[in-house]
Chains A and B, each alone.
Chain A
Amino acid sequence: EIMMTQSPATLSVSPGERVTLSCRASQTVANSLAWYQQKPGQAPRVLIYGASTRATGIPARFSGSGSGTEFTLTISSLQSEDFAVYYCQQYNNWPSLTFGGGTKVEIK
């Protein structure tokens, strides 16, 4: 089973700052990597798939990069509505999936 590790667990950030979240796979997943945002009381929402393709309706301030085992989600200028938990998820052996443990982005 492919394990996904996210860092850091928590990130304290001020609005307007640039944010970089990391995700590492225990073995290569090529570019079969998605990022999700989850707010309290809501289901996760997809932001990025294919490691770098924004999902429908996702603002351009969200961008993804990486391939193989190392991936990054960048938020160029954090808005108030972006404070949430972010999960990476691999689908290299679709429909089997594995999620990371999440990074919580909180207000500094």
Chain B
Amino acid sequence: QLQLQESGPGLVKPSETLSVTCTVSGDSISTPDYYWGWIRQTPGKGPEWIGSIYFSGRAHYNPSLKSRLIISIDRSKNQFSLRLTSVTAADSALYYCARQSEVEIDYWGQGTLVTVSS
């Protein structure tokens, strides 16, 4: 059974960098059939796609976040990671990692809550 588990800082200061890692178990992250994605959500709002990465390292980013965002993959550890720089309170959210097929997001992590505050 595939499982995804996010690990993050919980609290980040404004203007600093947010880093979250997703550890995948139950399958190899090197499969060519899927992208691995990051999605965030604030209470009462719809999810927001942040970006996705392929096992080759090719990444796609939400245009609204692209200038502050890097998504990377570590196939040896079966992990992928998110780095978001210059954070503000607007970046406070529940951050999910997920597996994307061509037509659906079929597996999600449980989410990690990140709060941006001094």
CB within 8 Å of B: which residues of A? 1, 4, 6, 32, 34, 36, 43-44, 46, 49-50, 53, 55, 87, 89, 91, 94-102
Contacts and interface: CB of A to CB of B under 8 A. Distances in A.
Given A43-B96, A43-B109, A95-B35, A49 B104 contact: yes
Contacts, number: 60
A96 B37 CA distance: 10
A95 B100 contact: yes
30 contacts: A1-B64, A4-B46, A6-B46, A34-B103, A34-B104, A34-B105, A36-B105, A43-B98, A43-B109, A43-B110, A43-B111, A50-B103, A89-B47, A94-B35, A94-B100, A94-B102, A95-B52, A95-B100, A96-B49, A96-B52, A97-B39, A97-B49, A97-B100, A97-B105, A98-B49, A99-B47, A99-B48, A101-B45, A102-B45, A102-B46
> What secondary structure prevails in chain A residues at the interface with B?
loop
B32 interface: no
A62 B63 CA distance: 33
Contacts of B28: none
The 9 closest A-B pairs by CB, nearest first: A43-B108, A97-B49, A95-B52, A49-B103, A99-B46, A95-B35, A49-B104, A46-B104, A101-B46
